[in-house]
Every structure is written in structure tokens, then in C-alpha cells.
Amino acid sequence: MSDSTAQPGPLTTFPLRVAVYCDKCGAEVEHDYVVHDLMTHQQRLDVARMYLVRNEGWSCTSDDGDLCPRCQPVITAFGLGPNDKRSLIKGPDQPR
């Protein structure tokens, strides 16, 4: 008689080199991250993005994509920096 409630074995972890590219200038950053065998490709990429945001000044959002520190908008005391043409103020026809 087999036990249908058997738990899966322990996760297998291993280092994996993941590259993230800046969507604006094409700069590339590669690091090794410890991932496990049940993680999807997207989850592994999210690990890399989270590290870059927390430790290397990247901005990784679904709206703007992956932006290196050089390419992301600079917010100053007066709003966005001079190289960014976007507005912080949303018009009536723009999503909030």
C-alpha cells in the first residue's frame, strides 16, 4: 500500500549565474545566486533583481523595466532630474 501523502524530499540548492540587463543602456550585471531546484526561471530572475535593488542601486519595476543606477530617474528636491522627461504629476487622463 503506497502513502499518497508522502512529502517531497529536501530542496536541492545550487549556485546559478544570472545576468540582468539595463533596459535603457544595455549595461549588464552578472552574479552568482543560490537558488533551489523548484524555483521557476522568473523566480530566479526575481532573486537577482531584488539583490540589485537592495545592494547596487538598480530600479526594477514592471512599469519601467530594469534600470541601472545611471539610467534611472533622479528625484531631486524639485522633482525629477533634468534628464528625465516624465512628470511626477499625473494628468486626468493618466493612470494614478
87 within domain boundaries: no
- Please state whether the predicted TM-score (pTM) of the whole model is above 0.75: no
92 within domain boundaries: no
Closest CA to 68 of 15, 8, 22: 22
pLDDT tens, residue by residue, 61-89: 988 899 999 998 766 666 555 555 554 44
The three cell numbers locating residue 44: 530566479
Alpha-carbon distances of 32 from 15, 51, 52, 64, 85, rounded to whole Å: 6, 11, 12, 25, 35
* Number of structural domains in the chain: 1
63 within domain boundaries: yes
What average pLDDT score do residues 24-51 get?
Answer: 96
29 within domain boundaries: yes
Q: Which domain holds residue 26?
A: 13-80
7 within domain boundaries: no
88 within domain boundaries: no
- Please report which confidence band the pLDDT of residue 10 belongs to, taking 50, 70 and 90 as the band edges: confident
94 within domain boundaries: no
Which residue shows C-alpha cell 522627461? 85
Distance CA 21, CA 25 (A): 8
In whole angstroms, how large is the CA radius of gyration of the chain? 20
24 within domain boundaries: yes
